[in-house]
Amino acid sequence: MFRIDLKNRKPIYEQVVENFKRLIISGDLCENSRVPSIRDMAKELGVNPNTVQKAYRELEGQKYFYTVLGQGSFIAAPPEEATSAEIALLYEKLSAIIRELIFRGESKGEIQVFINVLGSETK
Amino acid sequence: MFRIDLKNRKPIYEQVVENFKRLIISGDLCENSRVPSIRDMAKELGVNPNTVQKAYRELEGQKYFYTVLGQGSFIAAPPEEATSAEIALLYEKLSAIIRELIFRGESKGEIQVFINVLGSETK
Amino acid sequence: MFRIDLKNRKPIYEQVVENFKRLIISGDLCENSRVPSIRDMAKELGVNPNTVQKAYRELEGQKYFYTVLGQGSFIAAPPEEATSAEIALLYEKLSAIIRELIFRGESKGEIQVFINVLGSETK
Amino acid sequence: MFRIDLKNRKPIYEQVVENFKRLIISGDLCENSRVPSIRDMAKELGVNPNTVQKAYRELEGQKYFYTVLGQGSFIAAPPEEATSAEIALLYEKLSAIIRELIFRGESKGEIQVFINVLGSETK
DNA sequence: GTGGTCTAGACCACT
DNA sequence: GTGGTCTAGACCACC
């Protein structure tokens, strides 16, 4: 289930990154399984190989992928301990979105329920 | 409390937009109060007036500001009814961040607690 | 029934002009009746006298008002014969709006009905 | 058929917007066809690229264009459902013009005929 | 190649 | 005074 929207303002390589993150976190892509080669991926998505390469590099930088020279890229194990800076940044973004949702009329309760539902999916 | 980081990759005008959103949502800026003129804001931030204008225009488009010709820009009233598309987009972003937080080792419980604390602040 | 919206991007003086046009065409303001002085009008609308002055000058230019020095401004008689250039310009604008309405999904029939209703009001 | 009048009081970028709207609504520009790049358009019209960019951005905001990063801008599909606010605004403008035409001596009948002729063209 | 951001500075319209 | 438009030209990100 790969969703790429060329018309979206979000860069394609970021969309590829997010799709992989989503599939890894949901468990659809298992640890140590091989991901398609850059060329195959590019062909399948109908985008430029350079774009896929940039996405893979990003995923490797964020420790979602690891690469074995000559063999391709693979799904990495979940990080043992994340840097607190990363976590803090994510919480920062989270609070901004929550505040905006509340400003737009959503209630804390609705948001909590939404997260619970999300959790059961990903669990 | 205005935080602009000129070295940041994020465009300056977006940073201005986010700062204003934050201050409006937190209640630090009240409905119908006047915001600094484009020129003054630009001078204070040390950026070009066009950059500030772009931010103000964006805020007006998102209904956070309204402009009275010849008089300046003002904080708008909170939206009566948000479009469901906006809410859906926010939930989409929310779920991406929650997923990443969980992948980074945070638990649903920790996140829920975080949101509860947030809620009591903004309430 | 004077409707001025300061938050609107349309210049206030234009809004004043349109309000007068509307009231004259609908017959609420009769030929040769006196309109409020610039100062009174400005006070009542809560706008700058210069703004009202600009509107009155515009209405005089378009032959909706005539001014008697020392006595004030008055509603003019409907024009005997409009210049064909003015009429052509109005039809130009009309066709642009009709095209856009049709593009937005309205039908010719709906538009015709709308105009008929309009007509019976103004008649 | 692009008509730009640099001497006109109407901003250039608005003229560009209106020209594109006209060509899209008339069907001269088809869905998903590519429009000239900002730079090319600017060169052809003899104006600054920023001016064209502003026009394109406006057209994108009004859902006439969509942009693919790195590839250019394209004609969007006609809107599935227009917001009633947009329609109402157009009818508001329509009624103002009709009223003025009647004041200028045109009859409802003449206007209706004009619209009918218009309709058969665009059909 | 594409669009996006930013600057510096001029000029105009509205209040 | 206010915001709005436009130009010229630089630099960046994405594809």
Chains that touch C (3 or more CB pairs under 8 A): B, D
Chains that touch D (3 or more CB pairs under 8 A): A, C
A 10 A CB-CB count for C29 gives: 17
Q: Which two tokens stand for residue D29?
A: 């520009």
Cβ D88 vs Cβ A26: under 8 Å: no
Cβ A101 vs Cβ A111: under 8 Å: yes
Confidence of residue C82 (pLDDT cuts 50, 70, 90): low
Please give the share of chain D, as a percent, with pLDDT higher than 90: 64
Confidence of residue D72 (pLDDT cuts 50, 70, 90): very high
- What is the model's pLDDT at position C117? 86
Cβ B103 vs Cβ A76: under 8 Å: no
- Chain A positions in Cβ-Cβ contact with residue B111 (cut-off 8 Å): 94, 115
d(CA A93, CA B115): 12
Low-confidence ranges of chain B (pLDDT < 50): 122-123
The pLDDT tens digits of the residues spanning D7-25 come to 999 999 999 999 999 999 9
Whether the pLDDT of residue A117 is over 90: the answer is no
Protein-contacted bases of chain E (C-beta within 7 A): 1-9, 13-15
- What is the model's pLDDT at position B123? 43
- What is the model's pLDDT at position D68? 94
DSSP state of A3: -
- What is the model's pLDDT at position C119? 57
Distance from CA of D70 to the nearest CA of A (A): 9
CA-to-C1' distance for D51 and F9, Å?
14
CA-to-C1' distance for C52 and E3, Å?
44
Of D111, D122, D10, D95, the residue nearest C91 (C-alpha): D111
pTM: 0.88
Cβ A88 vs Cβ B11: under 8 Å: no
* B85 at C interface, C-beta within 8 A: no
What is the chain B residue with the closest CA to C5?
B68
Instruction: Map B26-78 to HEC letters.
Output: CCCCCCCCECCCHHHHHHHHCCCHHHHHHHHHHHHHCCCEEEECCCEEEECCC
DSSP state of C68: E
Burial class (CB in 10 A: 0-12, 13-18, 19+), A12: buried
Spell out a b/e string for B80-108, using b for 16 or more CB atoms within 10 Å of the CB, else e. eebeeeebeebbebbbbbbbbbbbbebeb
Of C46, C68, C58, the residue nearest C20 (C-alpha): C58
